[in-house]
Structure 1
Amino acid sequence: MDITPDTEQTPSTNITPAYYRQVLGKLPTGVVAITGINDDNEKLGLVVGTFQSLSLEPPLVMFCVDKSSSSWPKLRKLQKFTANILADDQIAICRSLSRKGPEKFENLPCTEGPLGTPHLDGATAYIDCLVTAEVVVGDHYMVVGAVSHMTEGNGDALLFRAGKFGQYQPLEIPTEAARSAS
């Protein structure tokens, strides 16, 4: 399925890709490594910043990947993947998996998950999925996965905002009693 905006319904704008990134870059996203392994025992992976829950009943997740990705066509053939939610100390893993070429997994310790897909050691969560849908939306593929297994790891998730990596910092919100005392 290809979802192409109706040009008669889409307002004519002069929004450049750079300005689009600048504005939407204000919203932090999680950093997720999508991993799989093919029949030749080659580990495959890519990094996405558009991963989220889609449905509770049944449990579904979704992510988006650029149509120009050289990794997604290889992963697509597997029809299964693990979404590794990277921890805030895993920037090097993110950078490694963002490269092109077979050495992406060089020196990246991982274990085999329930679907036979790589679980990157130290991730904050592992979500094992079967691909149930893929839709072309603009210049991306939107991929839907049915969750078959989930495992919670430790630590906080790595975040990405305005072109920089970061980590979650909870706000100290004063209670009503503390506000009235001041």
Structure 2
Amino acid sequence: MTAPADVSPGDFRAVLGRYATGVTVVTTRTPEGEPVGLTVNSFTSVSLAPPLVLFCLDLEAGSLPAFQSAEGFAVNILRADQEAVSNRFADPLAARFDGYGLADWSTGAPILADALAALDCTVHARHDGGDHVILVGRVQRLAVLDDDEPLIYWRGAYRKLG
């Protein structure tokens, strides 16, 4: 077996940037009950039975302690017209939840009332993922909240279908 070639972070990003992803806001609450959330595109389904999903969280993320201690989280899938929501939850200095209608489902993690769809999950597992932690959630409740198209991210920019 030959040794793997060096893979630079820049090359890695350039290649993976060719893979289109949806855009989500993943939320939870601190032990004190404060809402926490961030923009995530490293989200995918894992299993139908049981219903499992995962997302990856950077070990440098300010919200890491909340997600490490939380028993649940919500995945809010964004609509095509929600670039501003994505940008707000990606900005570490923004008042992310100001002015948003929120719902609490089974886990108490905030559901963005105007999202395209939402999944409310209990933490099923946490795994080491290099410079990220992989959080696997068991879906407890889910719903389509709107019939719009999804927000897409491809090659470093937001896109729309069609």
Aligned to 1:78: 70
Report the AA paired with residue 153 of structure 2.
F
Structure 1 pair 16/161, CA: closer, same or farther in 2 (3 Å)?
Answer: same
The number of residues matched between the two structures is 161
Residues 102/161 of structure 1: CA separation in 2 closer, same or farther (3 Å cut): closer
Tell me if structure 1 keeps the 8 A contact 2:28–2:66.
no
1:73 Cα deviation from its structure 2 partner: 1.7
Unaligned stretches of 5+ in structure 2?
A: none
| Alignment check: 8 A CA contact 2:43 2:53 kept | yes
TM-score (norm 2): 0.91
Alpha-carbon distance in 2 for matches of 1:12, 1:52: 27
Report deviation, 1:101. 4.3
CA distance in structure 1 between the aligned counterparts of 2:140 and 2:104, rounded to whole angstroms = 15
Deviation for aligned residue 1:139: 1.5
For 2:28 and 2:113, the matched residues in 1 are separated by 14
Structure 1 residue identity aligned to 2:84: A
CA distance in 2, matches of 1:19, 1:38: 36
1:111–1:121 CA contact under 8 A, matched in 2? yes
Aligned 1:7-156 pairs, distance under 5 A: 11-101=3-93, 103-154=95-146, 155-156=148-149
Tell me: CA distance 1:145–1:84, structure 2 relative to 1, closer, same or farther (3 Å).
Answer: same
Question: Alpha carbons of 1:104 and 1:11: their partners in 2 closer, same or farther (altered >3 Å)?
Answer: farther
Identical residues among aligned pairs (%): 32
Please give the alpha-carbon distance, in whole angstroms, between the structure 1 residues aligned to 2:65 and 2:46.
22
Is the radius of gyration larger for structure 1 or structure 2?
Answer: 1
Give the distance between the partners of 1:99 and 1:28, measured in 2 at CA.
Answer: 21
Contact residue 50 and residue 64 of structure 1 kept, 8 A: yes
CA RMSD of aligned residues (A): 1.7
Q: Which residue in the other structure is 1:158 paired with?
A: 151
Distance change >3 Å, CA 10–CA 165, structure 1 → 2? farther
Q: Classify the secondary structure of the residue corresponding to 1:144.
A: strand
Give the Cα separation in 2 of the matches to 1:49 and 1:11.
31
Structure 1 gap segments, 5+ residues each = 1-8, 170-182
User: 1: distance between equivalents of 2:45 and 2:7?
Assistant: 29
**TM-score normalized with structure 1 length:** 0.81
Which of 167, 178, 182 is the aligned partner of 2:160? 167
